[in-house]
Structure 1
Amino acid sequence: MGVLSHRARHAHESTEANGAEAPAGATAGRSDERVRKETWFSTLLGRPEFAAISGAVLVFIVFVLAAGSSGMFALDGVMNWSQVAAYLGVLAVGACLLMIAGEFDLSIGSMIGFAGMMVAIPSVYWHWPISLAILFAFAGSMALGALNGYLVIKTKLPSFIVTLAFLFILRGLTLALSILFSDRTIISGVGDIAAADPIANFLFKGVALHGFFQWLGHIGLVKLLDNGEPLVPGIPKVLLWWALMAICGAFTLAKTRFGNWIFAVGGDQVAAKNVGVPVRRVKISLFVLTAFCACLFAVLQVCDIGSAAADRGLLKEFEAIIAAVIGGALLTGGYGSVVGACFGALIFGVVQIGITYTNVDSDWFGVFLGVMLLLAVIFNNYIRRRVAESK
C-alpha cells in the first residue's frame, strides 16, 4: 500500500523538539503507547493474498480427503486441474493489476473469442503464416485494449459501462465477421497449421520437456502407454506462460515504480496526479495488458485445441474478477496481490476439475464460486478497515 510507518522515530523527534527528554531510567522497561506493536500473525493477516492461500490450503485438504484415492493427485490429474487454473491465471494477472488501479475490464471474455478468430481466419482461409496471424491478433487486441482505456479516461465514464459495451460489441463482431469471412462459427485445422510453424509450435502449442517425461517413463516414475509414450507427455505451455506472467506481474507490483503508481492510482487518482503520477498512461497500459492476457489465452487455446469458435471465452471476465477478488483485490481499488490472484485461479481449477472426481453433482460448482466470492469480499473489507484504522 506504500504506507510508511515510522512512529517510533517521529515520537523521538517530537520529544527532542519539545525539549522534554525523559531520564533513561524513566523509560526503561516501558513501551511507548503511541507505537503499535505488530505480531507476526497480524502482519500475515494484513497481506492481501492471505485469504487466497488459506482458502487454497483448505480446498486441497477437502479434496485430498474426498478424492485423494481417485487419481486426482496423480500426475495426470494434477496436469488436468493445473491447466484449467493456468488458463484462468493468465487472465487473473491482468484483471488483478487493473482492479488494483481501480478499474474493470468486462470485455476480456469476448476478446478471447475475437482474438481466436483473428488467428484462425487469416491462417486457414487467407493462408497467412500463423506466426503473422498471431502477431496480427496481439496487435488488434492490444489496440482495442488501448481504445477501452482511452474511452474510460476521455469520457470519464465508469470502466464497467465502457467495457460492458465492448463485451457486446466484440461478441457481435466475432459472430458476424466469422460468418462473413468463413461462413461458419467454428473454424478447425488451426492446430495442424501451428504444428507446422516452428515459432508457433515452440511458443504456444503442446507441451514442454517431452523428452524429460519420456525418460521419467522409461525409469518407471511416469506411467507409459501401450505405444511407449508417457501418459503425461510434458508440461503444458500454458503453465509456463502463467508462471512467466505471474512472476512479471508480482515483480512489477512489488519492486518497480510502475507498481507504486498502480497502487497510487487505485487509492486516490486525484492525489496521485497531483504528485506527478501519469494516471492516464498507467490506466491505458493496464487495459492494454488485460487485452494482451485475453489474446494470449486465445492463442494458447486455439493452438492447443486446434480450432476457434465464436462463443469462446464466455463468462471468463467474471471468473477472472472472482479469482482476483478471492486473491485479495478490493473492488474499490488500491489493494491487491498478483500472487493472491494466482491462488484464486488455483482454487478455481482445483474445484472445477476436482468435483468430477467426487460424487458431488457438478451443478454445485456455481454455488461454491458464489460463496467463495462473498466470503472473499467480506474478508477483504475487514482487512481494508483494519489497514485504515492502523494509519
Structure 2
Amino acid sequence: MTQTEERPAPVAGRARPPLSGRLLARPEIGALVAAIIIFVFFLALAPSFRSAESFFTVLYQSSVIGIVAVGVGLLMIGGEFDLSAGVIVYTAGLANSLFCWYFGVNLWVGALGSLAFCLLIGFLNGLAVMRTGIPSFLITLGTFFVLQGANLGVTKLVTGTVSSPDVSRIAGYDSLGKIFSSSFRIGPVTVWGTVLWWILFVALATWTLQRTRAGNWIFAVGGNLDSARAVGVPVVRTKIGLFMTVSFLGWFVGMHQLYRFNTLQAGSGVGNEFLYIIAAVVGGTLLTGGFGNTIGVAIGAFIFGMTSLGIIYAGWDPNWFKAFLGVMLLLAVLVNMYVKRMATMRKAD
C-alpha cells in the first residue's frame, strides 16, 4: 500500500516540470527574453525611446516587417524558404498602380488583379518546388531575380522612370486607403492600422497552427516529409498553400506601402526577405523546419522594430544595425538548438 501511494509522486512531478522543462522548451522563450533585455537597454540609454509616441512608432515599424514574417515563419515551419518575399511586396504595389494608371481604371480593379497575380506567383513557386524537387531556396531565388528585373523594366517602360505614378487622384484611392493605410489617434499617439492587422494575422496563424488539422499538416511536412506522406498528409497542397500565404501577405503590405506613400520605387524591397527570415529565426523557428510558432515570429519582428529605431533614438550610427542583426541571428540559431533539445528531452520524458 505504501509503494502504491508513492507512485503518483513522479507522475505529478512530470505534470509540472520545472521551468527549464516547460518554459525553456517553448520556441518563443529565447526571443521573449531578448526582447525584454533590448527594451530595457534602450529605455535606459535613449530618453526619446521612453515616450508613448516612440513605442507606437516601433510597433508600426515592426508590423510592416511582421505581417510578411508571419507567412515566412509558417513556410519555414513547413520546411521551405521564399527569397522572393521582399520583392513581391513592391511587385504587388507596382502592378496595382501601373495597370490602373496606364489603362485608366479604378484602383479596386488593379488591387484585385494584383492579388491574383501575387497568388499565382506563390502557386507557381510551390508547384515548381514540389514537382521538380529543386530546393525552394533556388526556385525562389530565381523568382526574386525575375521580379526584381520586371519591376524595374516594366516600370521604366510604362512611365519612363523607375518610380510608379502618383495614384492619389485615381478612383478608388480613398476607400482602399482606409483599408490598407488608415490610422487613428489615441491621445497624443498615432496608431497605424497595420499594427491591428498584424495582431490579427498573428492570432489567426497561431490558431491555425495550434487548433486545426492544417496546422498539424504544416508541422508534419516540415518535420518529416516522408512520414507525412505515409500518414496521408496532403503534402503538395499544404506546401503550395504556404507559398501562397507568403504571397498574400506580401500583397497586403504592398498595398499598404502604395496607399500610404502614393508612389513606389521599382527597385525597393531587395534584402527585406532576409529580415523576414531573421524575425522567424530569432522567434524560435528552426531553419530545418518542423518547429516554431508565430508568436515567436511576432516577437522577432518586434525586436527588429525596437533595434532599427532604438539605434536612431540613441543617436548611434545606424550602420551598426546590420551588424546587430547578424549577431542576433547567430545567437538565435544557438538558442534555438538548445530549445529544440529541451523540447525533445521533454517529449522523451
TM-score using structure 1 length: 0.84
Distance 2:192 2:294 in 1: 21
Task: Say whether residues 1:109 and 2:86 are aligned partners.
Answer: yes
Deviation, structure 1 residue 190: 2.1
Aligned to 1:294: 250
Q: How many residues align?
A: 345
1: CA distance, partners of 2:319 / 2:169: 35
The equivalent position to 2:180 in structure 1, one of 181, 204, 208, is 204
Partner of 2:232: helix, strand, or coil?
coil
When the two chains are superposed, the root-mean-square deviation of aligned CA atoms in Å is 1.8
Q: Report the Cα offset of residue 73 of structure 1.
A: 3.0
1:155 match = 132
Does 2:247 correspond to 1:271? no
| CA distance in 2: counterparts of 1:188 and 1:350, whole angstroms | 32
Instruction: State the one-letter code of the partner of 1:201.
Output: G
1:113–1:171 contact (8 Å) kept in structure 2: no
Question: Offset of 1:104 from its aligned partner?
Answer: 0.3
Match of 1:63 in 2: 42
Q: Distance in 2 between matches of 1:192 and 1:94?
A: 32
Higher-Rg structure is 1
251-260 or 358-367, which deviates more: 358-367
Higher helix share: 2
Per-residue CA deviations over 1:180-227 (Å, capped at 9, x if unaligned) read 222211124124447x544302211231x45xx4xx4xxxxx3xxxxx
Tell me if 1:329 matches 2:289: no
> Partner residue of 2:301?
345
Deviation at 1:30, TM superposition (A): 5.2
Provide the secondary structure at the position in 2 that maps to 1:65.
helix
**1:85-125 Cα distance to aligned partner (Å, 9 max, x none):** 00000111000000000000001112122112101102223
1:121 matches 2:98: yes
* Contact 2:163/2:263 (<8 A) preserved: yes
Q: Name the SS for the 1:190 alignment partner.
A: coil
Instruction: State the one-letter code of the partner of 1:203.
Output: I
Distance 1:270 1:328, change over 3 A: same
Q: Assess if the C-alpha contact under 8 Å between 2:96 and 2:111 holds in 1.
A: yes
Alignment of 1:213-292 (within 5 A): 213=186, 216=187, 222=188, 232=189, 234-292=190-248
Counterpart of 2:292, as a letter, is G
Displacement of 1:255 in angstroms is 0.8
Does the CA-based 8 Å contact 1:95-1:104 persist in structure 2? yes
Partner of residue 17, structure 1: none
Residue 28 of structure 1 aligns to a residue whose secondary structure is: helix
> 1:73 maps to which residue?
50
Conserved in 2, the CA contact under 8 Å of 1:191 and 1:302?
Answer: no
Paired residue type of 1:248: L
SS in 2 for 1:235: strand
> 1:307 is paired with a residue of what secondary structure?
coil
TM-score (norm 2): 0.94
Name the amino acid aligned to 2:290: G
Name the SS for the 1:45 alignment partner: coil
Gaps of at least 5 residues in structure 2 are none
- Which aligned pairs between 1:165-204 and structure 2 lie closer than 5 A? 165-193=142-170, 197-204=173-180
1:205, 1:113 → 2: CA distance? 15
Identity %: 37
Higher deviation after alignment, 198-207 or 237-246: 198-207
Provide the residue aligned with 1:9 in structure 2.
Answer: none
Q: 1:91 aligns with which of 47, 65, 68?
A: 68
Mapped to 2, the partners of 1:192 and 1:286 lie a distance apart of: 36
Contact 1:110 1:170 in 2 (8 A): yes
In structure 2, the partner of 1:309 is 265
Deviation at 1:287, TM superposition (A): 0.2
CA 1:36–1:149 in 2, change beyond 3 Å: closer, same or farther? farther
AA aligned to 1:177 is V
Compute the displacement of 1:388 (Å): 2.9
